[in-house]
Amino acid sequence: MPRPVLALLLLWVSGAAFAAESTAPWRELLLERTELAESANALVRLRPLYEAWTPPDPQLAEELTALSSPVSAASPGPSLLAWLGNATDSIAQARFNPGEFIQLPRIHGPETPFPDHQPLRQLATVRIALIKTCWFMGESTAALDLALENLALSRALLVSQEGIVPLLNATRIWQLSLDGIYWLARQPDLTASQATRLQLALLRDERLASDALVRAFRGEFTFFTHLVVDRLPRTRDVELLLSGISSLGMAPPVPPADGEPRLSIPPAGREPFDREATLQSAAADVRGWTAAFAATDRHPRDLNDRHTRRHLQAHAAEIPALLRYASDDTPVTHAQIATIDAEIASIENPVGKLFLIITTSNWEPLSVHVYHREAQSRALTGLLAWRRFGKPAAWKDLVTAGLLPAAPADPFSNQSLRLELTPPRIWSLGANGIDDGGAGDGDNVGRPADFTWPAGL
């Protein structure tokens, strides 16, 4: 029989946290959900429009994607312009109506599909092409309307998602909405009043990243961890438990084939898998991160090492033989089986600890990904304040002039975003927290040393 958890490849190496010192009941972390009426869920109305937002010609689709770059000066070609003209009505229908919200399908385990994110991302991409088209045609008000509709879409997704995968997808749409605003902020003929309109929309999104992360982590615990634990077999047979973990509860457990070495049933009184203890540990993990997000409104650098990896490695040190057995597909000897049996018989909740080691996700890059967008949103408020001021200026001058409530904080440091007036640019220190001078063209793809937004003035 293949090792039961090989497919998961020990995800703990990139880690999350479960602080043993947290004693709050795990049920307090569960994310409540009230189903929206279909009339209030905008997705019900938008789904019939999805197909109209993707060009049938692959070349047009590539051109459309290229136009989504915030630093591209290109305009749509004739064929794409014709297609955009045909898509205009369906794009107009995608505006939010009063009283509408977005509610994605409830997560029912790791097999849950998310069919709405890609079409909504396509909607945001089409809108960026239309923003540029309208702007080049002198229809600046329509261009701003489209940019703000994209921002409203990303905001609605961020406040409604209930897990890590939905958050990642919502954040990508948020990036597109911010890229559209960044493109407008770089246009030399953007007026002060237009800059004010865009800036005020961004300023209303204070704590959008932190609140979205808190909700996503709680949702991940509620609709992933809790569901997977609940679906694992009710048995003291460690082999069946490991088989259940390998499929995350999605398939019936499979015992070893006849003649294969197998682990023994633990002695009476020794439970290999304590569901309550496992959920309590997983909840403590999540609480460490949500507390950091709520307290600081910035990326909690090194929390993975300080709070997560430390506990996961401690568990790994308790069950080294079981961990090797679960992750190594090489033949096992009877002596090794005996060692594992003894380990299981002497350690509290050994399978639960293995479950946490294997299924705990990598939270730190997710936090970086989300706060990158937060940094961009804050940088844009500064770029737009420069447009209102008439020239690049220091934060204190913009605050004194009433163009900003305060210097925009850098989510990756304890200070404000950095800026230079010549050439004019704003930058964040990025994931490493080191000021590398703010080099970059504004695309910020990959892993740049700093996240940088040149003004383009």
Outline where 68-112 has alpha helix (H): 78-92
The model's confidence at residue 185, banded by pLDDT at 50, 70 and 90, is very high
162, two tokens: 């209930």
Q: Read off the pTM.
A: 0.92
Query: Helix or strand or coil: residue 406?
Result: coil
Residue 338 has pLDDT above 70, yes or no: yes
- 122 by Cβ neighbours in 10 Å (0-12 / 13-18 / 19+) ranks as buried
Which of 126-130, 136-140, 266-270, 411-415 comes out lowest in average pLDDT? 266-270
Residue 210 has pLDDT above 60, yes or no: yes
Q: Report the alpha-carbon distance of residue 424 to residue 408 in Å, rounded.
A: 16
Helix (H) or strand (E) holding 453: strand 451-454
The model's confidence at residue 199, banded by pLDDT at 50, 70 and 90, is very high
- 124 by Cβ neighbours in 10 Å (0-12 / 13-18 / 19+) ranks as buried
Q: Report the alpha-carbon distance of residue 179 to residue 168 in Å, rounded.
A: 17
The string of pLDDT tens digits covering residues 53-102 is: 999 999 999 999 999 999 988 889 999 999 999 999 999 999 999 999 99
The model's confidence at residue 11, banded by pLDDT at 50, 70 and 90, is very low
Which of 7-11, 191-195, 276-280, 346-350 comes out lowest in average pLDDT? 7-11
Residue 415 has pLDDT above 80, yes or no: yes
Residue 16 has pLDDT above 60, yes or no: no
Residue 22 has pLDDT above 80, yes or no: no
pLDDT of amino acid 108: 87
3-state secondary structure 13-26: HCCCCCCCCCCCCH
CB atoms under 10 Å from CB of 152, counted, come to 14
Q: Report the alpha-carbon distance of residue 165 to residue 450 in Å, rounded.
A: 26
Residue 111 has pLDDT above 90, yes or no: no
Query: Helix or strand or coil: residue 41?
Result: strand
pLDDT of amino acid 4: 52
The string of pLDDT tens digits covering residues 226-272 is: 999 999 999 999 999 999 999 999 999 999 888 888 999 999 889 99
